[in-house]
Amino acid sequence: MKVLITGANGMLGTAISKRLTSVELFTFTSKELDITCAHKVQEKVASLRPDYIINCAAYTAVDLAEEQREKAFKINATAVEKLAQIAAQYDATLIHFSTDYVFDGTSNIPYQPHDITSPINEYGASKLAGEKAIEVLASKYYIFRISWLYAPFGKNFYTWLTTTDQQQLNIVTSQVGSPTSALSVANFIHHVIKQDPLQYGLYHYVDHGKVSWYEFALKINELAELKKNIHAVDHYPTAARRPAYSVMDTSKTEEVFKYLLSPYQIELEKVIEGL
């Protein structure tokens, strides 16, 4: 089995690359293979003929996307559209990752994959455009919406909290979601490619549980024994609006893939303990 990974230097790409040890793996950083250069991507796919293309390349600067809309859409939508066409042309299964930010956050129950989308920031809009392109153009694909991604490496909330010198921290309570470990996602993708082909389509993958950023910070502080003073605040000014509630239902994922997702606390412990 041949697997090509784009964006292999990012948080998710790194985690998946480390996990897929039993396949013929071709990993490319965003500099080595820029997905916005469609002809280079096509040349690589034509040469390697992978069974899977796992796209981990993305524009993820949520706030900056408000002023760099064109760049966000170029990477998250236009490039993904071309990638879907190339995957279909060479009969590769495309695995792509989207976000909880495709929802507006006005629900008070977990979002289902088929629920109405209505992003409230440019990042979410660009990711939704990428989803729609894949659904139209790819013949074999899995789209997995994930949320609040973190890992023991890369730039994310967990690494910031565990490395900052600040002892007094103000963390918002106004956003509720499901923290999800990149290592957890990587284990799941390993399971997916062993089970495929299954029901292609759009799915949610998040570790179980719902917390605010403040509550997540408290849990990290407790389990990692950071001894920081964490204070709750209602609001923190950002350029981009965030959904107040973006918890996603994973029952379809668990049913189709016969995969039991873990509570976020268990996955967090694994990250802290280096498992």
Question: Any idea what DSSP says for residue 75?
Answer: I
Cis peptide before 197 (omega within 30 of 0): yes
Asked whether 55 and 4 are in contact (CB, 8 A), the reply is no
| Strands 52-55, 93-99: pairing kind | parallel
User: Is 150 an annotated catalytic residue?
Assistant: no
Asked whether 17 and 8 are in contact (CB, 8 A), the reply is yes
Crossing angle of the two packed helices 182-195 and 11-19, in degrees rounded to 10: 50
In whole angstroms, give the CA distance from residue 238 to residue 234: 13
Catalytic residue, chosen from 59, 101, 111, 123, is 123
Q: Phi/psi of residue 219, each to 5°?
A: -70, -40
Long-range interactions of 112-117: CB distance < 8 A, separation 24+:
112/204, 112/249, 112/252, 113/145, 113/201, 113/202, 113/203, 113/204, 113/249, 113/252
- Going by C-beta distance under 8 Å and a sequence separation of 6 or more, which residues neighbour residue 14? 8, 151, 153, 154, 182
Q: Which residues are catalytic?
A: 123
